[in-house]
Amino acid sequence: MSGRRVGFCLSDKKRRRMNLDAFADFCAGHGVEVVEMDLSQPLLPQGPFDVIVHKLSDVIVEAEHDSQSKQLLANFQSYVLAHPGTVLLDPLPAMTQLLDRFASYRIMSKLHNSLRDWRICSPPYLEIYSARDLKSTQQAVTSQDLSFPLICKTRVAHGSLSHEMSLIFSASSLEDIRPPCVLQSFVNHGAVLHKVFVVGDRHFCVERPSLKNFPPGPCDRETIFFNSHQVSKPESSSDLTALDEQMPCLPPPSSQAVAALVKELRVQLGMALFGVDVIINIHTHTLTVIDINIFPGYEGVPQFFSSLLSHIESVLDQRGPAGSAESPQSAGGPAAAPTGL
């Protein structure tokens, strides 16, 4: 692996969270050079790169309405297309679809077909594209077999607003939604969220606090607005996560079922670095997928550095000697232009 260079293209926030300096030191000890890429400068002199690891979520989302971000994204794409031997983790189209909850929820909704033997599913959901009258929203909720309470999430799955969610308890309270958004049937899960962190062929399951149980069915309770970061971070403490002490502990997810889920999602997404939020239905004990995340924080995963380096090495080993790459698809998919949200 000597002499191989890995470019990292991350926001300042992501760079600090990942502790990129420490990862660079770790890689240097294994003969791999880590280079921080600067999108605001010409990329050619910064290369060459054997692999580029990136999280361009900010740039992709802002490129929809900001000409400078659009140009930065175009420059990055031009560089990648001009260097087909450079492996991209992960392909831009794959990452872009996960920025759109409409797209990722469609993937989730099909999992029960391919993973039926493992009793894996996702809750019923409804895409709300734009503001509509209350009655038509109520009818759509009924026709899609959604059940109260409902959890409402923004369509764009990135940025601070994407963590702003709400719990809706009745048809009349559907006036509180702010399209574009996703409505999803809330599943009681004993206030425990299982975050599955995927790094190539490896995955790690970390337990986090989550929303407490609520009585099923509509009621006259007012809509609860909350930030998911304040509910499900490791240090979170909230009235929304306080469980009834009589609630029996649920069994953890089956390791075989989680492995099957990760394997299927790697194929469906064409990605190597992502996270999956899963819960256990307290009534059926069904493994229920509620969200998919791009290049998450990997908090609580002590083997993250070694796992990421191991995946980078395996990708390059599959690629063969420098300059003889089959194609960037070895990373999980083609480096084509992303589609708009």
Q: Is residue 196 part of a domain?
A: no
Structure confidence at residue 251 (pLDDT): 84
Question: Which residues are paired to 35 by β-bridges?
Answer: 7
Kindly state the DSSP code that residue 67 receives in the 8-state scheme: H
Q: Is residue 76 part of a domain?
A: yes
Identify whether the C-beta of residue 168 lies closer than 8 Å to the C-beta of residue 183.
yes
Structure confidence at residue 321 (pLDDT): 57
Inter-CA distances, 40 with 14, 53, 71, 76, 92, Å: 17, 17, 10, 10, 18
Beta strand segments in the chain, E: 4-9, 32-36, 51-54, 87-89, 120-121, 125-128, 150-154, 164-168, 181-185, 192-199, 202-209, 224-227, 273-280, 287-294
Q: Is residue 97 part of a domain?
A: no
Closest CA to 292 of 152, 117, 94: 94
Orientation angle between helical segments 255-269 and 101-109, nearest 10 degrees: 130
SS3 content of the chain, % helix, strand, coil (to 5): 35, 25, 40
| Sheet-wide strand order for 87-89 | 32-36, 4-9, 51-54, 87-89
Q: Look at the chain and report how many structural domains it folds into.
A: 1
Render each residue's pLDDT in the chain as its tens digit; 341 residues: 346 899 999 999 999 999 999 999 999 999 999 999 999 999 999 989 999 999 999 999 999 899 999 999 999 999 999 999 999 999 999 999 999 999 999 999 999 899 988 999 999 999 999 888 899 999 999 999 999 999 999 999 987 788 899 999 999 999 999 999 999 999 999 999 999 999 999 999 999 989 999 999 999 999 999 988 888 766 656 778 777 666 777 888 999 999 999 999 999 999 999 999 999 999 999 999 999 999 999 988 989 999 999 999 999 888 765 544 444 444 544 333 344 45
Q: Is residue 34 part of a domain?
A: yes
> Domain residues for 15?
4-90+301-331
Q: Is residue 14 part of a domain?
A: yes
C-alpha 168, offset from chain centre: 24
Q: Is residue 310 part of a domain?
A: yes
Structure confidence at residue 248 (pLDDT): 73
> What whole-number distance in Å separates Cα of residue 213 and Cα of residue 189?
7
CATH number of the domain enclosing 79: 3.40.50.11370
User: The whole model's pTM is what?
Assistant: 0.90
* Residue linked to tokens 């929809």: 64
The Cβ-side half-sphere exposure at 201, using a 13 Å CA radius, reads 7
Identify whether the C-beta of residue 128 lies closer than 8 Å to the C-beta of residue 177.
yes
Orientation angle between helical segments 304-319 and 20-28, nearest 10 degrees: 60
For the chain, report the end-to-end CA distance as a whole number of angstroms: 38
* Residue linked to tokens 């989730």: 108
Phi and psi at residue 47, to the nearest 5°? -85, -165
Q: Is residue 12 part of a domain?
A: yes
Q: Is residue 309 part of a domain?
A: yes
> What whole-number distance in Å separates Cα of residue 280 and Cα of residue 180?
28
